[in-house]
Amino acid sequence: MKRWQGKRFEGELIDYDNILIYGAGEAGQELMKGLSNSHKYSVVAFVDDDRQLTGAHIMGKKIYHTDNLLDIVNTLDIAQVFLAVPSISRARKRKIIEKLSHISIKIKELPSLKELADEKVTVSHMRKIDILDVLDRQTVEPDEELLKKNIAHKSVLVTGAGGSIGSELCRQIIKNKPTCLVLYELSEFALYSIHQELLAKQASSNEYQDIQIVSIIGNVTDEHNLMRIFQTYHVQTVYHAAAYKHVPMVEHNPFQGVINNTRGTYHCARAAIQTDVETFVLISTDKAVRPTNVMGATKRLAELVCQALSHEATSIKPDSKTCISMVRFGNVLGSSGSVVPVFTKQIEQGLPITVTHPDVTRYFMTIPEAANLVIQAGAMAQGGEVFVLNMGEPVKIVDLAQRMIHLSGHEVKDDKHPNGDIEIVFTGLRPGEKLYEELIIGDDNVEETAHPLIMQAMEHRFSLTDLERVLEKLPEKSQLYDVIWLKLQFKHFVDGYKEDTTVHS
């Protein structure tokens, strides 16, 4: 990044960054005032789309037209661009980022008008660009009725409440004002963290004072404990997010993976049926589609278990009315194990960015968007559906890495740029990892729903009896560590499962 010496602060020469403010409106002018006494930044110019402003000055700094953006950045030795257009659309912001993406320059932005409210604009408001702004994703305003349907004035339980998706579900659930929110989690620390966060939110607003928030340490394989909790707190809606999800970890611990992910789902859903829970939603993954890894196979088996229980719930409870559905989606930005926080840390430390393969692609969605759509999809269910979230176009991971390097103000180090700052190193596919993920098992078995970002997959199911035979044998086969038997079950039940032969169990 460009740094300049020569700005005097309290008698000393200090380094500073040349700043270009994008937007010469009220927010840009307020930002300029806030930066005028800064010893870290030196505003050298403005750019704006309005041709009538071209050539004018603000506090002695010239306004240029955005047509000349790249020339201005290079000519004036700009180190950072500050976007001071709070009303800017995501599409327009993406175009600006794209225009600057091939040069090493840091870009920061002001929050939206909604977030700023009536606050006076200051440099402290400047923040890093949201990674979603470099991904071409369609977003849709949520349906408030769907968000409230299974939550408002109801008792709701989230398994895996301390995880990335589980905790975000809790944040969004509390906004929709349940009577009770039960956090069910195996990790004491993760449970404590989300519980404290929700209690702080509750204390800061009168809106949430009447919500009972309960923390329970528990395992999803403990059906009797789940039944007791469902009955004690009169649970009406369950979001089952608890799962082991890290592909290499589950690949090397296959029985722990299938017992937690598949058998745990079975016990959790059975407990829901037996205690008259109204709605049960399984959080699934695109890795369940034609999996090449154990984790994906365990999640597909969990889907099959839910489909079977939905169609045969009366065999467990003759008058069952529990509505069971599944929601399948791809990678979420910022979750544990996601490439984005890994890349961010590597960039901050000046380390090479590690990408498994030049051609690897993934679907991406933000955690809040995924949780929001899970709630809406679950509210659309009639029973037995596999909902699939529209993840947009798959993203090439190496392209994402390059964009993140550029957004941080650095240059990619490669054969063309041997003096660049950060290198991208290819480490090879991990055990069980695929080059690309899929969201549906067949080519023509997906139907649209009333929601543009929620589809429904029409997929083959097995009888509950067939699946229960396998689940009953798991403890014995786990004791024997009979991985050959386990993978034979995957091949029988999981369409398209291909064993990764590089893993020696």
Instruction: Just list the catalytic residues.
Output: 287
Burial-class residue 89 by CB neighbours within 10 Å (0-12, 13-18, 19+). exposed
Quote the CA–CA distance of 108 and 96 in Å, as a whole number.
12
Quote the CA–CA distance of 143 and 339 in Å, as a whole number.
30
Judged by DSSP in three states, 61 sits in: strand
**Residue entry with tokens 């966060």:** 197
**Token couple for 398:** 């190496």
Query: How does DSSP classify residue 408?
Result: B
C-beta atoms surrounding 286 within 10 Å = 25
Contacts 24+ apart (CB under 8 A), 222-231: 222/267, 223/267, 223/268, 223/270, 223/271, 226/184, 226/267, 226/268, 226/271, 226/272, 227/271, 227/274, 227/275, 229/157, 229/182, 229/184, 230/157, 230/271, 230/272, 230/275, 230/277, 231/275
Name residues whose C-beta falls within 8 Å of residue 177's C-beta, 6 or more positions apart in sequence. Answer: 151, 152, 153, 207, 208, 211
**Token couple for 29:** 């002018």
Residue 121, amino acid: V
Asked if 181 and 211 count as a contact pair (C-beta separation under 8 A), the reply is yes
Name residues whose C-beta falls within 8 Å of residue 274's C-beta, 6 or more positions apart in sequence. Answer: 227, 316, 317
Asked if 170 and 237 count as a contact pair (C-beta separation under 8 A), the reply is no
Query: How does DSSP classify residue 119?
Result: P
**Token couple for 260:** 């937690």
Quote the CA–CA distance of 189 and 49 in Å, as a whole number.
50
